[in-house]
């Protein structure tokens, strides 16, 4: 079975909202720090909360960038692993991307062929359906 792509939008929407909440909390805590008398315990606590919220906002943003940067590459690696294991189809071009219904160069039984995939189970190479390995 060929894995279906995981939609990125829900993850992105949630992480943008979470980062926004952290940055807003940092801003509000920073305002509290500015209104407090310097050196008091209230000032130290609000400064600690502002710094912690800002760090969490930056970490969340970095996590979001990592997801956006690596999602397609990780999906393609999973599809190629599935094609190699279940169908004996190898990539003819290193780090080649895959899209459903778009032809791509591949190697099957040592021959260069042009294949297309249809999720979740169909692989067609040079006009012939490739049966899954049993």
Q: pLDDT for 80-124, tens place per residue? A: 999 999 988 998 888 888 888 899 999 988 889 999 998 888 899
In a domain, 134, yes or no: no
Range of the domain at 124: 9-129
In a domain, 20, yes or no: yes
- CA-based torsion, 125, 87, 105, 99: positive or negative: positive
In a domain, 60, yes or no: yes
Q: What is the pLDDT of residue 106?
A: 92
Cβ atoms of 2 and 120 closer than 8 Å: yes
12-39: pLDDT as tens digits:
999 999 999 999 999 999 999 999 899 8
In a domain, 81, yes or no: yes
In a domain, 1, yes or no: no
In terms of DSSP bridges, do strands 104-108 and 122-125 run parallel, antiparallel, or are they unpaired? unpaired
Q: Whole-angstrom Cα distance, residue 104 to residue 96?
A: 8
48-91: pLDDT as tens digits:
999 999 999 999 999 999 999 999 889 889 999 999 999 889 98
In a domain, 3, yes or no: no
Q: What is the pLDDT of residue 134?
A: 59
In a domain, 88, yes or no: yes
In a domain, 82, yes or no: yes
Cα separation values, 112 from 2, 18, 26, 76, 134, Å: 21, 47, 57, 19, 23
Structural domains in the chain (count) = 1
């Amino acid at each position: 079975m060929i894995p279906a792509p995981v939609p990125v939008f829900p993850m992105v929407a949630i992480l943008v909202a979470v980062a926004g909440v952290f940055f807003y909390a940092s801003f509000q805590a920073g305002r509290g720090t500015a209104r407090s008398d310097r050196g008091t315990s209230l000032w130290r606590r609000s400064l600690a909360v502002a710094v912690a919220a800002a760090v969490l906002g930056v970490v969340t943003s970095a996590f979001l960038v990592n997801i956006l940067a690596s999602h397609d590459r990780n999906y393609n690696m999973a599809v190629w692993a599935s094609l190699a294991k279940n169908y004996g189809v190898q990539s003819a071009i290193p780090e080649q991307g895959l899209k459903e219904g778009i032809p791509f160069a591949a190697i099957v039984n040592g021959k260069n062929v042009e294949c297309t995939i249809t999720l979740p189970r169909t692989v067609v190479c040079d006009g012939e359906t490739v049966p899954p390995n049993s």
